[in-house]
């Protein structure tokens, strides 16, 4: 097969939900490392990774107790803090790509993750979307973890769903 | 990244449902060509493709009107004919792989496709499962095309779902 444009792989990445745990979620890191190892392999120039982090405005704003009493000024600095956290999250993935010579781009959007991811797929038109998933059982899935299912149905490109491995699952399977 | 074992990609392939239409379904061929072009790319030795075709015993046996009156002998020859059709289907994919120098294996199993695919994933332990999907809307999805959804939830490896492109969709979207 002749050399062509690199395969553009969009990866939706998020922060860990575990309190005090820094940076990327278990499923985001797992999906990223799997993609490098099993898809990109030694063909670093054949791929370009596009990292999208979607921040959920309300959840982030009211996660800390003191934010309930936040003045407009506090709220602005809080939003700024969120943005900085988001940049740190993306920095993790961008640095890994630079280390191994895979081209990448990264950006932050705000909104409902499943809607924003599908919107960004329409806008950016990647060849492939990679979403990590907590891989919960049928009972938990009713309440959480529907982002990957929504993307498989609605994203206008092929979608890889990568479940978290059993040995990476924290004590409470809802954590990530 | 150091050279390692090839990435083993299992592809579930099926026959077209369109009457008189020979060989592989639109979504199987689409998923296969997409995988070669966007994942394997020029790195033919980095991948091994594992083609699984699941034959549905009852549907195949009673698809032709005359099979309702089939004697045990007729039924045996019918099953034989099915096996030959299945081999022809797999031959299409195996020949393409040989042309481009990608290692492959292919086999036929009988049963409920979604159950058999997930069972074969547990047995063969591929790195990745590729399933084509008709990409139907929410209304049609109630009645057909749940194989890919089942595999995303239950297969014990990452799963790529590749929807058929809009311009490849036949007149009746239930056809494939």
Overall size of chain A counted in residues: 176
pLDDT over 70 (residue A58): no
Report the 10 Å Cβ neighbour count for B120.
21
Q: Give pLDDT, residue B65.
A: 47
Q: Structure tokens of A153? A: 């149905």
Which residues lie closer than 8 Å to A49 by C-beta, 6 or more apart? A9, A10, A11, A35, A93, A97, A102, A103, A104, A105
Question: Tens of pLDDT along B89-121?
Answer: 999 999 999 999 999 999 999 999 999 999 999
| Cα B27 from Cα B163, distance rounded (Å) | 7
pLDDT over 80 (residue B8): yes
Nearest CB to B43 within list A2, A46, A127: A46
| Cα B90 from Cα B113, distance rounded (Å) | 16
Question: Per CB distance under 8 Å, which residues of A are interface residues toward B?
Answer: 1-4, 7, 34, 36-44, 46, 100, 127-128, 141, 148-149, 152, 158-163
Please state the rounded mean pLDDT for residues A27-38: 94
Q: Verify whether the Cβ–Cβ distance A42 to B43 is below 8 Å.
A: yes
Q: Give pLDDT, residue B48.
A: 97
Question: Tens of pLDDT along B25-51?
Answer: 888 999 999 999 999 999 999 999 999
Which helix or strand (DSSP H or E) is residue B51 part of? strand B47-55
* Angstroms from A55 CA to nearest CA on chain B: 25
Nearest CB to A158 within list B127, B153, B161: B161
Contact of A116 with A54, CB cutoff 8 Å:
yes
Q: Give pLDDT, residue B67.
A: 45
Which residues lie closer than 8 Å to A22 by C-beta, 6 or more apart? A16, A88
Question: Tens of pLDDT along A79-130?
Answer: 777 788 888 899 999 999 999 999 999 999 999 999 999 999 999 999 999 9
B130 pLDDT tier (thresholds 50, 70, 90) = very high
Nearest CB to B41 within list A46, A100, A148: A46
Q: Verify whether the Cβ–Cβ distance B43 to A39 is below 8 Å.
A: no
Angle at A175 between CA A129 and CA A143, to 5 degrees: 75
């Amino acid at each position: 097969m002749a050399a062509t444009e690199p395969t553009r792989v969009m990866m939706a990445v998020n922060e860990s939900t575990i309190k005090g745990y820094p940076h990327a979620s278990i499923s985001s890191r797992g999906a990223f490392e799997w993609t490098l190892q099993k898809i990109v392999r030694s063909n670093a120039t054949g791929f370009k990774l596009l990292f999208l982090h979607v921040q959920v405005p309300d959840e982030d704003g009211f996660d800390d107790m003191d934010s309930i009493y936040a003045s407009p000024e506090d709220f602005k600095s809080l939003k700024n803090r969120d943005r900085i956290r988001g940049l740190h999250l993306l920095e993790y993935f961008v640095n890994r790509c630079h280390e191994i010579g895979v081209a990448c781009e990264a950006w932050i959007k705000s909104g409902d993750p499943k809607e924003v991811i599908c919107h960004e797929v329409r806008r950016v038109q990647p060849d492939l979307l990679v979403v990590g998933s907590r891989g919960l059982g049928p009972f938990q899935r009713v309440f959480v973890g529907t982002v990957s299912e929504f993307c498989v149905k609605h994203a206008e490109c092929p979608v890889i769903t990568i479940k978290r491995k059993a040995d990476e699952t924290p004590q409470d399977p809802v954590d990530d």
